[in-house]
Amino acid sequence: MTRINHPLSPVDRITMGAMRAYLKLQPEMVLTPAGREAYDAFIGAVPTADGVMFEEAQIAGVNGWWCRPADRQPGVAILYIHGGAFTLGSARSYRHFASHLARAAGAVTFVPDYALAPEHPYPAALTDIRSVLRGLRATGVGRVGVVGDSAGGGLALAIVQMTDPGVEASLPVIDTVVALSPWTDLSLAAPGIAERTAADPLLSRAQLKTAASLYAGHMQDLRTPDLSPCFGLKGKMPPTMIHVGTDEILLDDALAYEGVAEVHVWSGMTHVFPASLQSLEAAPKAIALSGAFLRAQLGRGA
């Protein structure tokens, strides 16, 4: 696969400058249960995509929301794994953002409320996601794509490794993956964690260290592939697309997949920038690229 670099547009340069100035005046994001209400309000402010209906549902005992675009391919579905450092986020708040990917991909999309840390540390989130995957297949869905952002992107890439018959043969095959700013190394060992601290206005090593500890629970080795998929098997990845910004400390977590994924690197962009659909030119472009990729891959078996 390949790396594709995207330049920073003049309009986005101005927007990002204004955003950085604003963030300097704001308190640091809290990646513990105390930050859940604020985080849901932030991500829930993304406008809903036109022509997408929502339906609250439960799959295999896991609650969540369906995003159902008017124009959709039959027999395919997307599982959207939300971000929030394993401690924040909800299906209700993320359904708005997920609706844009659902519409762009032309596929019904389920956003699960997987178990959050610290109340439910590892492996609870993965257990819920495995259950939903099996449940989707049981409904007759022929092809499944998995999309995730931040911690959800890491969970998506961890689940892909588990679908390898040599790891866990009982899981259904995942046909394609899209990861947005995935967090793939909970050990925080990548050089970029330190090198890009000044460039990243959203995340710090201290924040991520706290979240990693809450999620890992009793696990001592944070390089275990289930926790940090960048240390796992990558040879049998399905078609995979990754988006990441140059100004985020998790850049190296995404670049770890160069060679097995189509990695899009966006100059000047910060963590999960595609969610800024109302303000950044790069955001709808990344969504369009992701949607076209998912639509093509999921349509192969239709």
131 assigned to active site: no
Q: What span, in angstroms and rounded, lies between the C-alpha atoms of 171 and 150?
A: 23
Burial class of residue 204 in the structure, from the number of CB atoms within 10 Å of its CB (0-12 exposed, 13-18 middle, 19+ buried): middle
Do you find a cis peptide bond into 201, omega within 30 degrees of 0? no
Q: What span, in angstroms and rounded, lies between the C-alpha atoms of 159 and 232?
A: 11
Catalytic residue (choose from 90, 93, 99, 150):
150
Do you find a cis peptide bond into 274, omega within 30 degrees of 0? no
Residue with tokens 């369009």: 288
Amino acid found at 30: V
What are φ and ψ of residue 187, in 5° steps?
A: -75, -10
Q: What span, in angstroms and rounded, lies between the C-alpha atoms of 170 and 275?
A: 34
Catalytic residue (choose from 93, 248, 264, 276):
248
What are φ and ψ of residue 279, in 5° steps?
A: -125, -25
Q: Which of 290, 258, 288, 254 is nearest to 271 (CA)?
A: 254
243 assigned to active site: no
- The helix (run of H) or strand (run of E) holding residue 264 is strand 262-266
- The helix (run of H) or strand (run of E) holding residue 37 is helix 36-43
150 assigned to active site: yes
What are φ and ψ of residue 281, in 5° steps?
A: -65, -35
Catalytic residue (choose from 82, 100, 264, 271):
271
Give all strands of the β-sheet with 3-6 in edge-to-edge order. 3-6, 262-266, 240-245, 176-180, 143-149, 76-81, 108-112, 62-69, 52-59
State the catalytic residues.
150, 248, 271
